[in-house]
Amino acid sequence: MTTEENSSAGYYAPIEFVANASDDGRGLRDVLRKRIGISRRLMVRLKTSEEGLSVNGQKVWSNHKISEGDVISLRMETEVSETILPQPMDLDVVFEDDHLLVLNKPAGIIVHPTTGHYLNTLANGVMHYWQERGERIRFRPVHRLDENTSGLVIIAKHPLAQQQLSAQMMEGTVMKEYRTFVYGRPPESEGEINSPIGRQTEDPHRRVVREDGAPSQTFYKVTANYHEQASAVDIRLGTGRTHQIRVHMTSIGCPIIGDSYYSEEKWMATDLAAKVSEVIERQALHAARLGFNHPVTGEAMQLEAALPEDMRRLEQLLLVYRKE
């Protein structure tokens, strides 16, 4: 597939690909389903758009018969998130093209506005960023991070990119790796946690391991130990439940350092906890790496975000603590 560098007013840049021998004689709708798994909803949008579907530069219907070598073009109308107020914000852009934007989100900021919290979100900053560049784009986060978790967030720039990336998320083919520092030592240097997670009855915002919860899978690997008091751990998610890493690490007796919501009293009373509070004021959890296939080109993407300053300070503290 290829795209033009610039889009005209009202439409995103066209997405184009050339029909191959296996497409010959098939209807356009069938080709699009086979080649890119296009959803029924998006197909309807393209059919009703003036420039939505074309073959060799000519507008066609969705049942148009395709021949090998035909150039198929999809063009979607632009949208903008009218309810999200643009707000100047420093953004750490890790990757951007016509189809997606990947940011390194700082801790202390939520991804999307919520009731009573309409400003100072990542969405406000992104809308201002696009507005300043004269782009009309709707804010479409493919996944989210907790307010006090830092790291990589993918934002789709048009409906097809969102569909393709969301499908990869659902299929579990997106590699999401986190770096964290926890109290104690996990039972194994490398292991898997398969414990269902559900809402706590007394506090519906809090998640706990419970038999009737949703299946949840977390893989971990210990990369450093600091006496028996703390460990550096790399995490890979098999599922994506709310607060999954925080709940799973607490469930094996190793709550994340700085996580007051899922802390354990025995660790909060230690000398280490007192020292930690001087260098980090949130859970020490960072979405460090993402691996996925580009939603349009199919290219394998591997993106990384370095540890933020507060987690680097914590790491240095733990290294000194280990020597004491």
Q: Is residue 200 part of a domain?
A: yes
Residues forming beta bridges with residue 214, ordered by sequence position? 197
**Alpha-helical runs (H) found in the chain:** 28-36, 40-48, 122-132, 159-171, 244-251, 265-268, 271-276, 309-323
Q: Report how many domains make up the chain.
A: 3
Residue 86 lies in a domain: no
State residue 135 phi and psi, 5-degree precision. -100, 135
Same domain, 199 and 308: yes
Q: State whether 162 and 184 are in the same domain.
A: no
Specify whether 254 is located in the same domain as 296: yes
What CA–CA distance (Å, rounded) separates 238 from 141?
20
Same-domain check for residues 317 and 181: yes
CATH number at residue 67: 3.10.290.10
Longest CA–CA span in the chain (Å) reads 74
* 146 counts as catalytic: yes
User: Residue 82: inside a domain, yes or no?
Assistant: no
Terminal C-alpha separation, the chain:
58
Residue 6: what pLDDT? 40
Residues comprising the chain, all counted: 324
Task: Give the pLDDT confidence of 3-57 residue by residue, as tens digits.
Answer: 443 444 577 778 888 999 999 999 999 999 888 888 888 888 888 888 889 999 8
**pLDDT of 11:** 77
181 and 166: one domain? no
pLDDT tens-place string over residues 222-234:
999 998 899 999 9
Question: Please, are residues 161 and 100 in contact by the beta-carbon 8 Å criterion?
Answer: yes
Across the chain, mean pLDDT equals: 91
pLDDT class for 2, splitting at 50, 70, 90?
very low
Tokens found for residue 152 = 């990589």
Q: Which of 23, 70, 98, 146 is catalytic?
A: 146
Residues 36 and 166 in one domain: no
Same-domain pairing of 106 and 181 = no
Co-location of 268 and 179 in the same domain:
yes
User: Does residue 83 belong to any structural domain of this protein?
Assistant: no
47 falls within a domain: yes
- Strands (DSSP E) found in 158-282: 175-183, 190-194, 197-199, 207-209, 217-226, 230-237
Contacts of 21 (CB under 8 A, 6+ apart): 68
Task: Output the 3-class SS for 8-65.
Answer: CCCECCCEEEECCHHHCCCEHHHHHHHHHCCCHHHHHHHHHCCCCEEECCEECCCCCE
Q: Lowest-pLDDT range, 58-67, 91-100, 179-188?
A: 58-67
Boundaries of domain holding 216: 175-323
Q: Pick from 171, 204, 221: which residue ends a domain?
A: 171
For residue 152, pLDDT over 60 is answered with yes
Question: Position 64: which residue type?
Answer: H
Q: What is the CA radius of gyration of the chain?
A: 23
Residues 53 and 183 in one domain: no
Tell me: do 249 and 263 sit in the same domain. yes
**Per-residue confidence band for 323, with pLDDT thresholds at 50, 70 and 90:** low
Asked if 161 and 179 sit in the same domain, the reply is no
pTM of the model: 0.86
Question: Same domain for 33 and 112?
Answer: no
Where among 13, 46, 74 does a domain terminate? 74
> Rounded distance, CA 121 to CA 117, Å?
8
- Domain assignment present for residue 235? The answer is yes
Answer yes or no: are the C-beta atoms of 215 and 244 closer than 8 Å: no
Structural tokens at position 311: 């987690």
Q: Provide the CATH number for the domain around residue 194.
A: 3.30.2350.10
Whether 291 is covered by a domain: the verdict is yes
Q: Which of 121, 147, 171 is the last residue of a domain?
A: 171
Q: How many separate helices (H) and strands (E) can be counted in the chain? A: 8, 17
294 is a domain residue: yes
Distance, in Å, from the CA atom of 240 to the CA atom of 176, rounded to the nearest integer, reads 9
